Structure 1
Amino acid sequence: MTPTPIQAQPGDPVAKIRARVGAWVESVPVQRLVIAVIVANAITLGLQTSDDIMRAAGGVIHALDVVFLWIFVMELACKLFARGWAYFTDGWNVFDFLVVAIALVPASGPFSVLRALRVLRVLRLVSAVPQLRFIVTTLLAAIPGIASIGALLAIIFYVGAVMATELFGAASPEHFGTIGESLFTLFQMMTLDSWAAVVRPIMDNGYPAAWVFFVLFIVVSALTMLNLFVAVIIDTMQNLTKAREGTAEQRAGDDAADSTPPPRAEPAGLTDAQLAAELVAVRARLDVLATALERRQQP
């Protein structure tokens, strides 16, 4: 979502300052700097997980972490000053605010668990890069379709678990002894993780045709249902892309319409003969000007 620029009111110096601050903090160089700081902060957060590196350069890493945090705070303060309460109308701005606010809470005592949440600052890269932001928006818009497919997949899992428990519970109680164990085993088979190692002992234990059930389940769950998830996401992304293009074309058309000068009004009170006489006079004047121009161009 593109931030709405602050419009400065004539004669209001505070509004002019807010507009300038907003334009500066949303400018391309500043946003590139913020992205670079987010990447650098992600690297320092990863280095803090190494005891050897922290013993060798822990002071420098902690100092860099503080500098990065205050850069985020300054960026957030500039946006709040420029946009006021309108800043919180954008969900991505609320996300950035919460991430920075969590980082400011002292990670000690009962809040020591928040120390692990500092890595959430890396997620600010999603809100800073438009392409990543568009992908996340697509995933959120695809939730209704994904939920429907997930419900259908849950039904298939439940039916398959009941059938597997009834059919193969005695042959492989460690895998299909209960519905819970059957659900876990079927999920493992959907991921194609060592599914043959589960099926072969059952086939050798008096169920030679057991492969038919499991192959059908894998085809339906892994090869069909999971591809439906991908199809829903791709369809949502295409729809959002078309909507964005349509909005851009409409804005371009509105801008072109606003910039087009109004048609020149025809002089009132003139007869056709008078208009023809004026046209002849204009043509004669143009001929005189063309002749003068040709004489100047001659050496």
Structure 2
Amino acid sequence: MILVNALLLGVETSPWMRSEYGAVLHAADTAVLWVFVVELGLRMFAHRRDFFRDPWSWFDMAVVGIALLPATGPFAVLRILRVLRVLRLLSVIPSLRHVVTGLFRALPGMASISFLVALLLYVAAVMSTNLFRETSPQNFGDLFTSLFTLFQIMTGDSWGEIARGVMHEQPLAWIFFVMFILASTFIALNLFIAVAVQALEHEGDERRAAGGEVDTLVLTEVRALRAEIAELRAEVGRPTVKDSS
């Protein structure tokens, strides 16, 4: 149903489909939404208080609740948030849940790296503003313009054109741009990937450890049951005093 909902939301972006089958699409979209509502109600009834202890249950409630808001008046802009219902795939597919959990665990490390990148951008923006203000005022005319330009360079978007425009007047400007690219793109951004991968590996290790504990408990229970069965068989097969006489 989540995939059907995603397909309907994509089809509704076509003006022709809305004009030809608008009523049908709206009815189907409403039906899917109420299926989600009924499903949440059944889960609340089945799990009782445990339903509200699961963060993913709150996530599902928020996504479906946004879709239930009226699409007219001041809430009309919230209609586009219906597409968030597609994100419910994150809560129903276990592998996606583990990936998202791992990324959330990586947030503290990513926050430190983000501060490092922000510090690097600020220092580079001050330097580039003082160095290239006269040469390229459209890119380095003031601090905020320099920050945006350096962020664009960090993403690799047309940084060669910006650098060559400055190098036309200042040939040694390549030193600054090469050093900034190395520090921001090849070092800082790769640190984000390293932290995310480490968090995902840690999440996978915990999953395997939890699975191992479950297997150990199951084996312990099976051995205990076998011992009890063996004792019962021994009791049944043991002759009584009357029989022996």
Please identify, of 196-205 and 115-124, the stretch whose mean Cα deviation from structure 2 is larger.
196-205
| Partner residue, 1:89 | 53
Equivalent in the alignment of 1:241? 204
1:176 match: 140
Q: Does structure 1 residue 39 correspond to structure 2 residue 3?
A: yes
- The yes-or-no answer on 1:199 pairing with 2:173 is no
Of 50, 56, 63, the residue aligned with 1:99 is 63
Q: Which of structures 1 and 2 has the larger relative contact order (alpha carbons within 8 angstroms, sep 6+)?
A: 2
Deviations 1:245-288 (A, max 9, x none): 011101110121122134878xxxxxxxxxxxxxxxxxxxxxxx
Moved more, 100-109 or 120-129: 100-109
Other-structure match for 2:194: 231
* SS, match of residue 135 in structure 2: coil
Matches of 2:133 and 2:75 in 1, distance apart? 47
- 1:48 counterpart = 2:12: yes
What letter corresponds to residue 227 of structure 1 in structure 2? N
Q: Which moved more, 1:250-259 or 1:148-157?
A: 250-259
- Tell me if 1:141 matches 2:102: no
How far is 1:201 from its partner?
A: 2.1
Q: Which runs of 4+ in 1 moved over 2 A?
A: 261-265
Task: Please state how far the C-alpha of 1:190 moved relative to its aligned partner.
Answer: 0.8
The residue aligned with 2:176 is: 213
Letter aligned with residue 239 of structure 1: H
Write the deviation string for residues 38-71 of structure 1: whole angstroms up to 9, x where unpaired: 1111111111122211111111111111111111
TM-score (norm 1): 0.73
Deviation at 1:222, TM superposition (A): 0.7
TM-superposed deviation, 1:137: 0.9
Of residues 67, 72, 89, the one that matches 1:125 is 89
CA RMSD of aligned residues (A): 1.4
Q: Where in structure 2 are there 5+ consecutive unaligned residues?
A: 232-245
Q: Which amino acid aligns with 1:231?
A: A
Counterpart of 2:26 in structure 1 is 62
> 2-side partners of 1:147 and 1:215: how far apart?
25
- Structure 1 gaps, min length 5: 1-36, 266-299
Secondary structure of the corresponding residue to residue 134 of structure 2 = coil
Provide the aligned length of Structure 1 versus Structure 2. 228
Matched to 1:222, the amino acid is T
**Equivalent-residue separation in structure 1 for 2:49 and 2:64 (angstroms):** 17
**C-alpha distance in structure 2 between counterparts of 1:185 and 1:249, whole Å:** 51
Match of 1:289 in 2: none
